[in-house]
């Protein structure tokens, strides 16, 4: 996640709450930097939901 681009709209957290959340300061928190293979479709949906294009999936 590119924290400089992120404006914490929370759309990714709405789509993938098991991966992203809004913290108490309304800043985005990545709950799980490693995505389980079963979560890939939801992670991809969160990437598409980001209006600032601040999220990308990187295969490792």
Query: Which pLDDT does position 3 carry in this prediction?
Result: 85
- The mean pLDDT value of the chain amounts to 93
Coil vs helix vs strand at 35: coil
CA distance 24 to 4: 19
Residue ranges per structural domain of the chain = 1-60
**Which class in CATH covers the domain with range 1-60?**
alpha beta
pLDDT for 1: 82
**CA–CA distance, 31 with 13 (Å, rounded to integer):** 10
Give the position of tokens 């979560």: 39
**Does residue 59 surpass a pLDDT of 90?**
no
Q: Please enumerate in sequence order all residues whose Cβ is within 8 A of that of 52, keeping only pairs 6 or more positions apart, or say none.
A: 2, 5, 6, 7, 9
The string of pLDDT tens digits covering residues 21-40 is 999 898 999 998 899 999 99
Beta-sheet strands, E only, within 1-60 = 20-22, 28-30
């Amino acid at each position: 996640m590119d924290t400089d681009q992120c404006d914490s709209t929370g759309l990714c957290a709405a789509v993938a709450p098991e991966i992203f959340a809004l913290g108490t300061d309304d800043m985005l928190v990545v709950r799980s930097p490693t995505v389980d293979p079963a979560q890939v479709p939801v992670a991809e949906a969160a990437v598409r939901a980001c209006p600032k294009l601040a999220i990308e999936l990187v295969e490792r």
